[in-house]
Amino acid sequence: MSSFPTSIPTSTPAVIEVRDLRKAFKHVEAVRGISFDVHRGTTTALLGGNGAGKTTTLSMLLGVLTPTAGSIRILGENMLRHPYRVLPRINFTSPYVDLPKRLTVAENLRVYARLYGVARPQARVDELAEELDLSDLTSRPYGDLSAGQRTRVSLAKALLNRPEVLLLDEPTASLDPDVGDRVRTLLEQYQKRSGCTMLLATHNMGEVERMCTEVIMLRAGLVVDQGSPLSLLERYGRGNMDDVFLDIARERVNPNRGTSPDSHSEGIAS
């Protein structure tokens, strides 16, 4: 890899502040006391295998789930006490959250534009349809779209209100390489224009290397490592983030002590 996003300046303020965040479901503690910051105008990756706590964490940041303990501040506001001061200024996208299937693409986007209080909603819908190559799909029911087309509509929904904070759960899942690259470029351009802060949960390590200034690694509901992509590559002695991810997910390497005795184990930590 020839280049990475610029490191975070020490003076850059934190837009997302998470402290000792926990979430328990009956006998399962999905998130076990995590703390991290996401700084203004940057993209931070939230990585981990299935069951690591990524989606639960994003759901708590959005206010969909109530934490068992801990605190969340976004844009300076306490999300547990005053979420409605912040929600109009943020948005999210996930290919695993469907929009109403009987409504057309245009109808869905117009409904959400009004919910977010978007000025001139039809103009904003038309603008995003053009940017995301959705113009030929706007009259089709959302339920008739392919997985990749739904992913693009979900991203259009997420950008309707020109969010200051954008939570991205696998934003390029189901997209072919060409469309995935165009979506990443669109997100980078939007961030450059707006100064938007992004928290990205993904399994695409090329996406992490290209877009992210910071990486937070989760395993079994805990933060197990953190740093810039370049610093993690150096720490683990690897040439790409795929290998770093596997080392951490499989508990194969301790960066302070070298390779662990079970470094060749085939098992993957859940």
Q: What is the pLDDT of residue 263?
A: 38
Structural domains of the chain sorted by starting position, each given as residue range(s) with its CATH number in brackets: 14-96+164-259 (3.40.50.300)
Angle at Cα 218 formed by Cα 216 and Cα 223, nearest 5°? 75
Q: Which residue has the higher pLDDT, 250 or 224?
A: 224
* Cα separation, 75 vs 163, whole angstroms: 12
For the cut 60, the answer to whether the pLDDT of residue 1 exceeds it is no
Condensed to tens digits (0 to 9), the pLDDT of residues 62-95 reads 999 999 999 999 999 999 999 999 999 999 998 8
Q: What is the pTM of this model?
A: 0.86
* Segment 230-250 mean pLDDT: 93
What is the pLDDT, as a whole number, of residue 32?
96
pLDDT digits (tens, 9 = 90+) for 249-262: 888 765 554 444 34
Q: What is residue 185's predicted lDDT score, i.e. its pLDDT?
A: 93
